[in-house]
Amino acid sequence: MADDGGRPAGGGAQHNGNRDAAIHTRLKEGSLKLYELEKELSPVDAIRIRREYIQQETGTKLDNIGIFSIDVERVVKRNCENMIGTVQVPVGVAGPLLVNGEHAHGHYYLPLATTEGALVASVNRGCSAITKAGGAEVRILHDGMTRAPVFATRSIAHAKQVVDWVAAHGEELRAAAESTTSHGKLIDIQPFVAGTSAYFRMGFDTKDAMGMNMVTIASAKVAELIAQGTGAKLVALSGNMCTDKKPAAINGIMGRGRSVVAGIALSHDIISSVFKTNAATLFEVNYRKNLVGSARAGAMGFNAHAANIVAAMFIACGQDAAHAIDGSTCLTTVDPTPTGVYVSVTLPSLPVGTVGGGTGVDTQQECLKLLGVAGGGNPPGTNAKKLAEIIASGVLAGELSLLGALAAQHLARAHQQLGRG
């Protein structure tokens, strides 16, 4: 085991007792803030002293949180403020999964970070079925990260003038946006008006980055020009028409991030041998549960548990875990065929990247390397698309397995065997 940056337990950083005591006193007095520790200490020492202070203040031992192997020099600058350690999430592997995409080709082992018993086993069974059937077909339908600032206008007539001005100055706005980044490209600007509020949903090609920081900075430049050119008042750089980290029909309709579809044709033999059910029952479970049940509930996603796989792979691969909400907008369909069924998943909003954010954290970087997508692709953008195709294939595996378990009435038994704790 190791503590504070991978050093052997008990043989960590040199502890200066007098210095540490003085810092604890200043923290207690309020003359030094917790977030200021890195200004006076190395990241490893700042993390340790901050954790010790929290332990003293709360009376809670944080021994396990202080055990980690990641390089904190990078993390405290880019990923986490007021760091006191790490929380470890078990990572299981499902596969091999055969993927036949435009960017992902071959067999992959999927890293799934989860504490939900039975999830990895379930995805693993879906992977087996897909691989036996010849591999998942996967395609990227749309690629574009969005940001949508909102402007206050004087009247509805003025709102329409603002919309017309933006349409007439597209090239100028595009040049302004792209002057802020060496990678991002402004694809389009979609206007939306609600009374005197005008929203402009900007879509960007962010290459291998998920791209939220990139598009936010670029959108700020565009918004500045719109305000100057039209007299509209910029109210907020994000007007919730983006839509980021919230359930929204617009993402399902227009797409956000990588929009991906994955499908597999299953024969009667595979349905029977792997899932212990038949094509007609599989179809009916999907129809009455995923389609009718979701519609009756007013759900924005029509699937069995797509967010489970999205979240597990996002956490393992350094993606923004809050974007798992986008994965829940997945639509799962089962089409009867003469030889069995064709099962597909449509994920219209899958914001993923292989550079930036949490992708550089050591453990998450290893998971990306496991999939062969770490860092920038050649040409740029191909690694992020490849990751999106692999995740969509994993979602397909998860949907297949859960539908099969429900069709065969095996769900409760699986959770009794694997998910109790």
CATH numbers and ranges of domains, the chain: 16-78 (no CATH), 91-143+251-418 (3.90.770.10), 149-236 (3.30.70.420)
- Grouping H, G, I as helix, E, B as strand and the rest as coil, residue 382 is helix
From the CB of residue 5, how many other CB atoms can be counted at a distance below 10 Å? 21
Q: Are 396 and 264 in contact (CB under 8 A)?
A: yes
Tokens 């914001």 correspond to 351
Angle, alpha carbons 387-132-330 (nearest 5°): 40
Query: 100-148: per-residue pLDDT in tens?
Result: 999 999 999 999 999 999 999 999 999 999 999 999 999 999 999 999 9
Residue 11 pLDDT: 32
Q: What DSSP character marks residue 305?
A: S
As beta bridge partners, residue 145 has 204
Peptide bond into 96 cis (omega under 30): yes
Contacts 24+ apart (CB under 8 A), 54-58: 54/84, 56/24
Query: 74-99: per-residue pLDDT in tens?
Result: 999 999 999 999 999 999 999 999 99
d(CA 328, CA 350): 10
**Any idea which residues carry the catalytic annotation?**
116, 320, 415
Residue 375 pLDDT: 97
The amino acid occupying position 230 is: T
Residue 418 pLDDT: 60
Residue 415 pLDDT: 53
Residue 421 pLDDT: 46
Residues of the chain below pLDDT 50: 1-2, 6-13, 420-421
With 0-12 / 13-18 / 19 or more C-beta atoms within 10 angstroms meaning exposed / middle / buried, residue 297 is: exposed
d(CA 260, CA 389): 7
Residue 409 pLDDT: 87
DSSP states of 39-65 as a string? GTS-HHHHHHHHHHHHHHHHT---TTT
Residue 15 pLDDT: 58
- Tokens representing 40 are 């006076």
Residue 416 pLDDT: 55
